[in-house]
Every structure is written in C-alpha cells, then in structure tokens.
Amino acid sequence: MALSGADPSLFERVLEDLDPEVSAAIDGELARQRSTLDLVASESVPPRAVLEAQGSILTAKYADGYPGRRDYDTCEWIDEIECLAIERAKALFGADHANVQPYSGSSANAAVLHALCEPGDVVLGFDFAHGGHPTHYAAATFAGRNYRALAYHVRRDNRLVDMDEVETLARRHRPKVLFAGWSCYSRHLEFARFREIADEVGAALVVDMAHFAGLVAAKVHPDPVPFADACTMTVHKTLGGARGGAILCRREIAERVDAAVYPGEQGCPLPNVTAAKAVTFRLAGTDAFRERMERTLQGARTMAEVLVEAEDRTKAHVVTGGTDVHQLLVDLAPGGREARTTLGRLNKIGISANAIALAYDPRVEPACSGLRFGAMALACRGFGREQFAQVADILSDALANGGEDPGGSLAERVAELTSEMPLYRHLA
C-alpha cells in the first residue's frame, strides 16, 4: 500500500483500517490473553488509564534532559508530567531522589553501574541460574563486559541466598557495587545483612526490586529503601503499569545517577511512558492497589499450599516449601520431567508460565527442571483465593500427568475460569 504524506486522512484513520495486518495481530494477542491463565510472574494487566497515557500524543515529543534543564524549549507540559512522576515515586517509596527515565529495568541497572563504577571495577551479583538477573554480572551483558563481575549463589541445603558466601566474596574481592535482587526466587532477602557487608567492604548496595517493587509500594514486603544506596525497578511487573524502569537513590549520589541515565546511557526520555509511569505511581498508592497486592500474595501462597499437598502425586517439589512473594518455583527433577516440554503441554491447556534453570539443576541448558508460577496477572484480573485454589488444582492434575490433558477436561476448566473472570472488559 502506498502511504501518501499528502493524504490528511493518513493521520486520522484507525489502525484496523490503515494496517489490517498489525491490527489483526493485536486482536489475536488480546484473544490469547483473554483465554489464557497467565502465570508468567513478570506479567501484569496495565489499567486502561496507563495504556491511554502510554499511547498518547506525547509520543513524538523531544525533551532531552531533566525538568527545568532541557535541551529543547517547549517542554513545559513534559516537565509537569515528569515532575509528577518523580514526586509520586519519591512519596510512594519514601526515597530522597527518583529518576523515572530508564527505558527498562535493564537500562536502570546499566545506569546505576555507570554511576557507581569505573570500567573494570568489581561488581558482585546473584547468579542467574540461582535466581538473579543477568544484568547484575553475566558475561553476555554490559555488566560482565564492562566490569569484573562475580556471582554469589543459594545454599544447596535450603535454597536460600548464601549470605556467608556473599560476605566471603565481598571481603576477598571488595566490589564497588553489591547487587541484591532477583527474578526467580520466592523468599525475602536479608537487606540488613547485605547493608552490613556492603559497609564493611566499602561497596554501594543496589537493590534491584524489578519484581517486588509493587509489593514494597503496598507495604507487604520488607522495605529495601532505607538499606540501599540505590534501588532499581521495573514499572511493569508487580507495579502493574507503564512499560519501563526507574531508579531511587540517596541524595548524595542523585547527580551521578541522573548524569548516568542521561546523557550517560540514554537519549531522550519517552514522555508518553513517563506519563504512564506517573499514573502507575498514583495508582500504586491507593487502597485498591494494596488490596490487589495482598490478594496476589495470598494467591501465590494458596497455589504453593495446594502444590505442596499434591507433591506425592505430581513428583513436583515446591522449592523452599512455599513462598513469601508473588511467585513460586517448582522443581520437576524428583519426577524426572523436563520443564520446557512440560510447559509446552501446559500451554496447550491454556496456561502460560516460565521454564527456568534451578540452582544445582541436574539438567544442562537449554533443558531445565524448573517452572515459575506467578499470581500477579491473575490477581489483576480479579482472581481471589477460591480461583487460585482452582488454578492450583488444574496445575497439580496436569503435573501429575507430565503436563498432559488426555481427556481435555483441564482445558475446559481453564476455559471456564477465563470466561468467568474476563479481561479488558472495555475493549471489544
């Protein structure tokens, strides 16, 4: 199709009419989301108001710099929006300073390392296969490429972060930055002990709360802010909103963090996303958000309880025997099942989740033994204890059968639950 710049209707035609291919793919994805039990722990359901802001006319605006000191004029409304986002983030988390420009959680980590380290400095993070995130240390990322990055692990006996190893590695290698934070872990971290170790060796403590920022905002998780020099986060995981990252930090390093985000690691911020972040931070201060986070925790606990109860039948072990957060990890090794194959079968029933390598996994990548189930997306959809118990029943019946659904009855139960609890009611 020829797109003519002279055709004024180009700017007014709806997507369905202008680009039926992309439009149909979005509709397809909406239908998939509606009919799926989403147990992907990093996914949520952004509210309509967040989508509205993120898809707004702010999209094209250039605004390099920070409120009151931009490289472009005509940023008065962008300044207002960014100030709202900053003030709301600071109030929500009780932080000295907030930078709301990072494009993602990964960019937030890159900026914090940029602010606090010189290339070649030692960084200590949590091993990916043990629950950490690659952007803390892994060779394939900027962290491993630019810094001398080392990793700590969980203990073999209780699968909790080995704080003695953190201490030993920190004393021996004296990192500039010590990361605390996880993607695949189901227990609280010992922030006070991390702080002690960081102080002893002169490291900055960075808490990456990409996954649990929403729980912290709702005060249903220990608060890392008083312990950390900086906290990085995503705004789209448990915070449930705009697609992007943010950084909180102590006053003393605020200037360095701001300079590391822009111009250090990024160009112009995304004003449409900044607006959606401001809306997200506002929503995260409400009672409704807190109630949803409580229901999320309760949902994860309920699923863990049902799956622990069913362990004899499923031969799938709930790692650490339960959860303190919005997700749980399940180890398929006792039944000898491979996680990616099993997940493929769960997908056919209408369940999405993640296959993950677990600490001390007997399988070699890309094969793995772990499944991660999160409760957040379903809690956004309105699921409560009763529905989460049904989800867990479906999961345990499937896992007892290697993920298969021979009679099709599990797929039917999924279809019933997803139609009882509709998604995006305002959309056609």
Ligand X SMILES: *Cc1c(COP(=O)(O)O)cnc(C)c1O
Binding site for ligand X (CB under 6 A): 42, 104-106, 109, 133, 135, 181-183, 208, 210-211, 234, 245
- Find out whether 167 and 117 touch, Cβ atoms under 8 Å: no
By beta-carbon proximity to ligand X, the closer residue of 36 and 234 is 234
Report the alpha-carbon distance of residue 217 to residue 286 in Å, rounded: 10
Report the alpha-carbon distance of residue 288 to residue 147 in Å, rounded: 42
Neighbouring residues of 99: CB distance < 8 A, sequence distance ≥ 6: 86, 111, 246, 247, 249, 257, 258, 261
By beta-carbon proximity to ligand X, the closer residue of 187 and 413 is 187
> Cis ω on the peptide bond leading into residue 263 (within 30° of 0)?
yes
The CA-CA-CA angle for residues 379, 382, 388, to 5°, reads: 60
By beta-carbon proximity to ligand X, the closer residue of 175 and 245 is 245
By beta-carbon proximity to ligand X, the closer residue of 44 and 183 is 183
**Which residue from 406, 408, 378 is spatially nearest to 390, judged by alpha carbons?**
378
Query: Least CB distance from residue 246 to ligand X, whole Å?
Result: 10
By beta-carbon proximity to ligand X, the closer residue of 222 and 384 is 222
Report the alpha-carbon distance of residue 219 to residue 215 in Å, rounded: 6
Query: Least CB distance from residue 348 to ligand X, whole Å?
Result: 26
Neighbouring residues of 229: CB distance < 8 A, sequence distance ≥ 6: 116, 198, 204, 205, 206, 249, 250, 253
By beta-carbon proximity to ligand X, the closer residue of 133 and 317 is 133
Query: Least CB distance from residue 211 to ligand X, whole Å?
Result: 5
Say how many Å lie between the first and final Cα of the chain, rounded: 27
- Find out whether 310 and 303 touch, Cβ atoms under 8 Å: no
Query: Least CB distance from residue 353 to ligand X, whole Å?
Result: 15
- C-beta nearest to ligand X: residue: 105
By beta-carbon proximity to ligand X, the closer residue of 181 and 350 is 181
> Cis ω on the peptide bond leading into residue 46 (within 30° of 0)?
no
